Chain A
Amino acid sequence: MSIVVDAISKSYKSLKALNNISFDVKEGELFGLIGPDGAGKTTLFRVLTTLLFADEGKGTVAGLDLVKDYKIIRESVGYMPGKFSLYQDLTVEENLKFFATIFGTTIEENYELIEDIYVQIEPFKNRRAGKLSGGMKQKLALCCALIHKPTVLFLDEPTTGVDPVSRKEFWEMIKRLQQKGITILVSTPYMDEAALCDRIALIQDGIILQIDTPEAIIKHYPKSIYNVSADNMYQLIQSLKAFEHSHSVYPFGEFVHYTDKRTAFNPDHLKRYLAKKLLSNITVEITEPTIEDAFMELAK
């Protein structure tokens, strides 16, 4: 096991940021922590990178104890914090050199690992880090986190605030790093990124709701989901919520995701009900659940 988290809890005053969290990450696995702001993702990263002590529980990273072996852990893991933490006044190249030196290595020694990322920012190597665009900053931060060839990589919300194009590029980089044998723990508030991980933990309010592969989480969704649409979205939501058999009603883009309490559900019955509520252009069609549906059902 690359990462073992065993019944870890952490509180800030009265706020329980992590509540009895346990999971394992296998060697070479890409494991995602999926949850909204305030779920406890960053606190967990800080515990696992030995920057915070847990109040209760224990854990290991790369086989090393979080408390006893903290110094060796720091040497062997890479950590990219959610908040941009490089030196804004140093250039791209200076930042990278700085981090290499801190870890007792050189850029040249591990260049192979960062090469395909670094070449993208190399044209700006004399630019100060503070003057880079969001996507460029992320790439530089990733290079700095990799420069000492870590065995385990912690990426805390690497794609937050980044536009879809940079987001896609970033995930392609993560995948390539995984292929090089690095174990990766990545957190994200974007539910659609869950599908890119081998396994995920859905986390909210310091509690893990479920751990499994993304496919299995979707497969275990307990209900049939219907895409419902009509001309007036607000009236549609209100009417569905008022329907006596409704189990859940969630707007989902141009549709509403609807589940029914009954096992024997007839879409025509719902259509007739909605027509009586004076809605027009009604459609009711079965659809596949998403990770977000699973998350909401578990958090309900």
Chain B
Amino acid sequence: MMIRRPRKVKPVACKDFVEEITSYLDDALPADRLRSIDAHLEVCADCARALAQWRQVIALTGRLDEDEVDRLDPATRAELLAAFQAQPPAAPD
């Protein structure tokens, strides 16, 4: 029977991790790197905070949709609807 040894994790430099946060969140890192980072995050409060702030940035950016002011102006909208209605329907199959 194979003896299971705890998997070794390599040390992670904070400077490197902060450039990998987006890859980390996209699950785009190799498994061993992921393990090293997870171990690092348990002991490095600053990196854990950087990650938390990345998540906050994503959440806040996501809320911009609710404040969407970039609405189609009514005149263009009316023009497009008229063009849509004016387009002759295709002959039925």
Q: Does B bind A?
A: no
Residues on B facing A (Cβ under 8 Å): none
